[in-house]
Amino acid sequence: MDQRTEIDWTSCKGHGLCAELLPDHITLDEWGYPMTGGSPVPMGTVKRARRAAADCPALALKLTARRPT
């Protein structure tokens, strides 16, 4: 199973902390909102992704497990 980040757009306020904690996986658009690209989180980055989700001030970032198709 791979891990992916998901963003709750109704909760996200564009603080940008997720991009600071996961710079290889999350970038910010021109308004400061995160973009993930939908790719799985690399295995070596899952721990940091969990921290980013837990530390999100708006609790808008989620880490979900998905089965590869």
pLDDT of residue 67: 74
pLDDT of residue 51: 94
26-31 long-range contacts, CB within 8 A, separation 24+: 26/52
The pLDDT-based confidence of 68 (bands split at 50, 70, 90) is low
pLDDT of residue 57: 96
Written as six digits, the tokens of 29 are: 């658009």
The string of pLDDT tens digits covering residues 5-51 is 999 999 999 999 999 999 999 999 999 999 988 889 999 999 999 99
Q: Cα angle vertex 33, ends 30, 38, to 5°?
A: 110
pLDDT of residue 69: 64
Domains and CATH numbers, the chain: 2-66 (3.30.70.20)
